[in-house]
């Protein structure tokens, strides 16, 4: 509970489940203090603004809540639904704020709107817990993988047993980017598995008896959003009691053409059901089978297990090779068929959940980075009514600060500009010259042709010919690229 509150990330619900924005809190504070709000508050963020309002109204008495109360009150927001829900949220917020000290009001606000950036990251908690329990880093990471999250981890320490539990998500293994074919074999790899990189939604599938749960890459439960896939899993894995699989969720239109990622996301998560869409799953890994943890097995062995059980389910197209020309041909075939590129996997590699490393690599058809929008500016001409020019940021080395890499107004359709404008206005922090400053919530995948050194930006770099490929609602701001990633790409592009 303490870890969840410190990180502002919760195991049983997401910020979207809470659905509390700055405007809702502003209205609650206004009502609580009967509109007695000073006009000129000098505050670095909205949490600080709330604190100053409390002080202005002489509300500085000690809190009537403890951590358990706070956690339960926050969790309670996810159950508020239906007509008049915004008023219910405001009343609940007023009750909570009335029981908080001015310091707690500041941090409660930062938690529920997703602005907890106090320098405390998951890695720091992992390091502290590994020292507390006197476990070396490698063993601790394996234990954390089996536990899935901090809440389960601490419970497992209490029970003294560490094992994967079906229906509880496991942190997903991540791939490192490469920019060319030569890098693929730079680690002295021999045989490797290369696979099509699908432009879909990565999912982790759990089945236990008749129960099926499907989780997104951020470990959010999306089972109810994709009933056709749940049915497909049940129909094809009837004889298997317990299993955990990973795969890519993709969609087809009525011409059996692959749907782009952005359209697929809208079909599943935005209730855009107007057009024809058939969902399917393409599997690429198996992590658990009938009581046996497979994560420490080599990838080749896991592939063999997957081949035996997949039955009527699809498998990603793959090739095992040590020939660079075969890799190039496979890549060309993937791109020609409309796929993003290829994945490259070490056949001897174990499954390292939650980690990005060289056991898995990805080569895409364009240079891309994942960045977050922090400032948006009004456009010109036909775009004058849209926030259509975006300042893009990466994370600092310590992941405690955002660093600018330049602007782009390219890549989105008129409809997407309109939708993006509405989203940005809902997360506005303040007005700035020509636009607005927003909370770091919207992650975008950005294509570019080059990276240049730049004294104009604090990062020291600028993207050339940047354009937004897609909005990554499946990623968190903590998932974006860091300045180290930018420097690495720069060095590779300029042979440094």
What does the pLDDT read at residue 141? 73
Q: Say how many CA atoms lie within 13 Å of 22 toward its Cβ.
A: 20
Cβ(368)–Cβ(408) under 8 Å?
no
The number of beta carbons lying within 10 Å of the beta carbon of residue 118 is: 12
Residue 417: both structure tokens together: 């500009």
Lowest mean pLDDT among 33-37, 69-73, 125-129, 400-404: 125-129
Count of residues for the chain?
A: 496
pLDDT at 87 over 80: yes
How many whole angstroms separate alpha carbon 339 and alpha carbon 481? 22
Dist CA 482 CA 371 (whole Å): 9
Give the per-residue pLDDT at 472. Answer: 92
> In this structure, are strands 356-364 and 174-177 parallel, antiparallel, or unpaired?
parallel
Range with the lowest mean pLDDT among 60-74, 143-157, 187-201, 287-301? Answer: 143-157
Domain boundaries along the sequence of the chain: 2-112, 122-159, 174-364, 367-493
More confident residue, 410 or 161: 410
The strand pairing partners of 453, in sequence order, are 461
For the domain 367-493, what is the CATH code?
2.40.50.140
Q: Can you tell me the mean pLDDT for 244-269? A: 84
Cross-strand bridge partners of residue 402:
395
Give the model's pLDDT for residue 241.
Answer: 96
Predicted local distance difference test score (pLDDT) of residue 275: 59
Give residue 389's pLDDT band: very low, low, confident or very high (50, 70, 90).
Answer: very high
Is residue 270 predicted with pLDDT exceeding 70?
A: no
Q: pLDDT of 304-361, one tens digit each?
A: 999 998 778 999 999 999 898 999 999 989 988 878 899 999 999 999 888 788 899 9
Nearest-CA neighbor of 212 among 242, 171, 239?
242
Q: Considering the candidates 51, 110, 197, 225, report the single residue annotated as catalytic.
A: 197
> What pLDDT, on the 0 to 100 scale, is given for residue 185?
79
Least confident of 237-251, 255-269, 388-402, 459-473: 255-269
The pLDDT of 446-467, averaged and rounded, is 90
> Whole-angstrom Cα distance, residue 356 to residue 457?
27
pLDDT band at residue 18 using 50, 70 and 90 as cut-offs: confident
Higher pLDDT, 351 or 1: 351
Phi, psi for residue 40 in degrees, rounded to 5 = -115, 90
What CA–CA distances, in Å, run from 163 to 125, 126, 256, 341?
Answer: 20, 18, 41, 35
Residue with tokens 């505050």: 43
User: Is it the case that residue 150 has pLDDT exceeding 80?
Assistant: no
Is residue 197 annotated as part of the catalytic site, yes or no? Answer: yes
For residue 376, give the nearest of 392, 360, 365 by alpha carbon. Answer: 392
Task: Answer for the pair 437, 428: CB distance below 8 angstroms, yes or no.
Answer: yes
Torsion angle defined by CA atoms of residues 183, 186, 190 and 191, in that order, rounded to the nearest 10 degrees: -20
Name which of 279, 254, 284 is nearest 267 in CA terms: 279
105/54 Cα distance (integer angstroms): 8
**Mean pLDDT, to the nearest integer, of 17-33?**
85
CB-based burial of residue 471 (10 Å sphere; 0-12 exposed, 13-18 middle, 19+ buried)? Answer: buried
Residue 265: the pLDDT is: 82
Residue 70: burial class (beta carbons within 10 Å; 0-12, 13-18, 19+): buried
What Cα–Cα distance (Å) separates residue 213 from each residue in 15, 54, 203, 262, 306?
Answer: 20, 44, 10, 23, 19
- pLDDT for residue 274 is more than 90: no
Write the CB contacts of 321 (distance below 8 Å, at least 6 apart in sequence): 191, 192, 194, 327, 330
- pLDDT recorded at residue 61: 74
pLDDT tens digit sequence for 159-215? 676 778 899 898 899 998 887 887 887 765 678 999 999 889 999 999 999 999 999
Q: Which fold has domain 174-364?
A: D-amino Acid Aminotransferase; Chain A, domain 1 (3.30.470)
Q: Which residue's structure tokens are 């010919």?
A: 465
Mean pLDDT of the chain: 86
Q: What average pLDDT does the segment 466-487 reach?
A: 91
Q: Between the ranges 116-125, 159-168, 267-276, 466-475, where is the mean pLDDT highest?
A: 466-475
Three-state secondary structure call for residue 207:
strand
Average pLDDT, stretch 18-39? 85
The span from the CA of 162 to the CA of 146, in Å, is 6
Q: What are the contacts of 377-381 at 24+ separation with CB within 8 A?
A: 377/407, 377/434, 377/435, 378/434, 378/435, 379/409, 379/417
Question: Average pLDDT for residues 457-472, to the nearest whole number?
Answer: 92
Q: CA 210 to CA 234: how far, in whole Å?
A: 7
pLDDT at 36: 85
């Amino acid at each position: 509970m303490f870890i969840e509150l410190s990180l502002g990330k919760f195991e049983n619900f997401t910020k979207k489940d809470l659905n509390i924005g700055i405007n809702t809190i502003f209205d609650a504070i206004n009502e609580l203090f009967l509109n007695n709000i000073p006009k000129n508050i000098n505050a670095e963020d909205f949490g600080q603004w709330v604190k100053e309002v409390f002080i202005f109204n002489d509300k500085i008495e000690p809190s009537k809540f403890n951590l358990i109360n706070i956690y339960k009150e926050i969790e309670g927001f996810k159950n508020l639904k239906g007509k008049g829900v915004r008023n219910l949220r405001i009343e609940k917020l007023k009750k909570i704020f009335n029981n908080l000290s001015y310091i707690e009001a500041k941090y409660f606000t930062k938690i529920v709107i997703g602005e907890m950036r106090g320098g405390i990251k998951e890695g720091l908690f992992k390091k502290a817990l590994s020292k507390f329990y006197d476990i070396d880093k490698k063993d601790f990471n394996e234990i954390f993988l089996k536990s899935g999250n901090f809440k389960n981890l601490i419970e497992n320490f209490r029970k003294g047993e560490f094992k994967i539990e079906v229906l509880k998500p496991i942190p997903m293994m991540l791939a490192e980017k490469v920019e060319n074919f030569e890098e693929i074999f730079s680690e002295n790899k021999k045989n490797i598995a290369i696979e099509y990189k699908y432009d879909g939604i990565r999912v982790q599938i759990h089945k236990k008896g008749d129960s099926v749960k499907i989780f997104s890459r951020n470990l959010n439960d999306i089972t109810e959003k994709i009933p056709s896939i749940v049915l497909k899993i049940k129909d094809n894995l009837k004889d298997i009691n317990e299993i955990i699989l990973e795969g890519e969720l993709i969609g087809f239109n009525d011409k059996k053409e692959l749907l782009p990622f952005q359209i697929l996301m809208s079909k599943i998560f935005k209730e855009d059901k107007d057009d024809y869409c058939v969902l399917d799953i393409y599997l690429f890994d198996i992590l658990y089978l009938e009581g046996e943890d497979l994560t420490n097995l080599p990838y080749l062995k896991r592939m063999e297990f997957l081949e035996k059980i997949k039955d009527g389910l699809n498998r990603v197209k793959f090739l095992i090779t040590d020939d660079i020309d075969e890799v190039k041909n496979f890549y060309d075939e993937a791109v020609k068929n409309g796929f993003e590129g290829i994945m490259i996997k070490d056949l001897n590699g174990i499954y390292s959940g939650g980690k990005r490393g060289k056991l898995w690599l990805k080569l895409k058809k364009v240079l891309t980075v994942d960045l977050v929008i922090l400032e948006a500016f009004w456009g010109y001409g036909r775009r004058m009514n849209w926030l259509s020019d975006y300042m893009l940021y990466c994370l600092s080395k310590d992941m405690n600060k955002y660093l600018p890499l330049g602007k782009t107004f390219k890549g989105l359709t008129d409809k997407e500009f309109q939708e993006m404008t509405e989203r940005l206005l809902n997360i506005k922090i303040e007005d700035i010259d020509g636009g607005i400053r927003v909370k770091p919530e919207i992650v975008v995948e950005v294509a570019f042709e080059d990276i240049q050194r730049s004294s104009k930006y604090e990062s020291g770099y600028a993207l050339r010919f940047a354009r937004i490929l897609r909005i990554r609602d499946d990623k968190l701001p903590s998932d974006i690229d860091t300045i180290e990633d930018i420097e690495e790409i720069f060095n590779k592009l300029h042979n440094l």
